[in-house]
Amino acid sequence: MGAAACAEPGPGGPLTGPSPAFRPPRDDFPILSRPVNGQPLVWLDSAASAQKPRIVLDAMRTFAETHYANVHRGVHGLGHAATEAYEAARNRVAAFIGAAAADEVVFVRGATEAINLVAASFGRSTLRAGDEIVLTELEHHANIVPWQLLREASGVVLRVVPIGDDGTVSLDDLRATLGTRTRLVAVAHVSNVLGTVLPVAEIARLAHAAGARLLVDGCQAVPGRPVDVTALGADFYVFSAHKMYGPTGIGVLWGRRELLAAMPPWQGGGEMIASVSFERTTFKKPPYRFEAGTPPIIEAIGLAAACDYLAGLGLAGIAAHEQALRACAVERLRAVPGLRLLAAEGPGERAGILSFIIDGVHPHDIATVLDTAGIAIRAGHHCAQPLMRRLGVAATARASFGLYNTSADVDALAEGLMRVREVFG
């Protein structure tokens, strides 16, 4: 990427990012105006959790102040109003991800719970000992451990597609891993460590040609690029609201209607039943069959507001903005002595996530020194220990860009890393 990647600034003045078509709406995010350690906050940890715009916070507060009740229960007016708002939220989420119908959207606690749901329900009911589940080497633990638990319970076999040195997953390697016993392929849409964007539409075609289903972990994709689950051809797609500028405590399992309809419940309790006696219980249709107990009601309102917010800003513009910030950061960080970018470049698209190490400096020390300058990055294994092993490191420092970041944030990061070098010699 040439010098143009860091060209400053576009028509929007100093708040403009390196992609002149997109103006980061920083004023929408109250937290960005608070200092940290006496410095302006530079939030480069959106891949762990994104900050919340006022419109999301206001939507939840207004709902709680004016419409709040439990849902699907009360015959009182507020009960109806809350149920309507909750189901309207489901509709808005469905439209946001291109689902064919709202009943394909199951509200869960987050992506982790969504994958556990699929493993416990689809996995236990349809997979037999010796059936194979194909993962890639770059998966988050949330897309590894539930399948290992299933392996212990059902004897399924896990097969892993290796990644290349550039952090990409090759379709040839996937083809070579698929076999006659493959029943499920489960892959990240975007790596939470390297930003690699996996070719999930092609992966769907290969998985289906092999007679397997495809689950996509969209945690790092939904916040920063247009996602149409139907067009992608996936069978399950999961994500968490808190990474897409929404609240914690809610996420989504999207599943094809016919698959969800054939899946048994995985948790039992109130609201997921049609009738209960001590002899026998019958269950509601999806999505309610999978939403036992009181759901995250206020959070659903917040998630829908986050969808509307992102749709209003335009996901294509956000994607271009974050890619441009990443390209700018690659260029700036290369100038830091002793800094090594990890699998940062190669064919295919990259989202706004970048991992690096500095010779002789532990990633936690990098993050600690940056924090003194108000710059928040993540250091650690990022819940991707198999990927760390593949990269030959125990941990990385990771900068991740959100829609509110600017090229000034990239400058701050580059300067902060120079300071790290000074501190550690």
Distance CA 239, CA 232 (A): 15
User: In this chain, which stretch among 78-86, 105-113, 171-179, 194-202 interacts with ligand PLP, using CB under 6 A?
Assistant: 105-113
Among 112, 196, 406, 407, which residue sits at the site for ligand PLP (rule: CB under 6 A)? 112
Q: Which is nearer to ligand PLP, 46 or 83 (CB)?
A: 46
Residues 6 or more apart in contact with residue 121 via CB below 8 angstroms: 263, 264, 265, 266, 290
User: In this chain, which stretch among 3-11, 138-146, 298-306, 346-354 interacts with ligand PLP, using CB under 6 A?
Assistant: 138-146
Among 182, 192, 196, 407, which residue sits at the site for ligand PLP (rule: CB under 6 A)? 192
Among 17, 24, 110, 224, which residue sits at the site for ligand PLP (rule: CB under 6 A)? 110
Per CB under 6 A, which of residues 383..402 are in contact with ligand PLP? 383
Q: Which is nearer to ligand PLP, 192 or 406 (CB)?
A: 192
Q: Catalytic site residue 383? A: yes
Tokens matching residue 190: 């975007």
Q: Could you tell me the smallest distance in angstroms from the CB atom of residue 285 to ligand PLP?
A: 25
User: In this chain, which stretch among 135-143, 266-274, 311-319, 387-395 interacts with ligand PLP, using CB under 6 A?
Assistant: 135-143
Q: Could you tell me the smallest distance in angstroms from the CB atom of residue 391 to ligand PLP?
A: 16
User: In this chain, which stretch among 137-145, 227-235, 331-339, 397-405 interacts with ligand PLP, using CB under 6 A?
Assistant: 137-145
Rg of the chain, C-alpha, whole Å: 22
Q: Which is nearer to ligand PLP, 187 or 206 (CB)?
A: 187
Per CB under 6 A, 240 contacts ligand PLP: yes
- x/- mask, ligand PLP, residues 141-160, rule CB under 6 A, reads -xx-----------------
List the one residue out of 244, 224, 313 whose CA is nearest residue 21.
Answer: 313
CB 392 within 8 A of CB 351: no
Per CB under 6 A, 116 contacts ligand PLP: no
List the one residue out of 158, 155, 154, 152 whose CA is nearest residue 124.
Answer: 154
Per CB under 6 A, which of residues 324..383 are in contact with ligand PLP? 383
Q: Which is nearer to ligand PLP, 358 or 387 (CB)?
A: 387
Is the four-CA dihedral 354, 400, 146, 106 of positive or negative sign? negative
Q: Could you tell me the smallest distance in angstroms from the CB atom of residue 220 to ligand PLP?
A: 5
Per CB under 6 A, 188 contacts ligand PLP: yes
Per CB under 6 A, 322 contacts ligand PLP: no
Task: Give whole-number Cα distances, 142 to 306, 381, 385, 414, in Å.
Answer: 23, 13, 11, 31
List the one residue out of 213, 204, 255 whose CA is nearest residue 233.
Answer: 204
List the one residue out of 243, 203, 212 whose CA is nearest residue 45.
Answer: 243
Distance CA 326, CA 351 (A): 8
Among 23, 52, 90, 140, which residue sits at the site for ligand PLP (rule: CB under 6 A)? 140
Q: Could you tell me the smallest distance in angstroms from the CB atom of residue 338 to ligand PLP?
A: 28
Give residue 327's identity as a one-letter amino acid code: A
Q: Which is nearer to ligand PLP, 220 or 323 (CB)?
A: 220
List the one residue out of 182, 169, 91 whose CA is nearest residue 131.
Answer: 182
Give the CA count within 13 Å in the CB-facing half-sphere of 26.
Answer: 19
- x/- mask, ligand PLP, residues 194-233, rule CB under 6 A, reads -----------------------x-xx-------------
Contact residues: ligand PLP, CB under 6 A:
110-112, 140, 142-143, 188, 192, 217, 219-220, 240, 383
Catalytic positions, written as ranges: 383
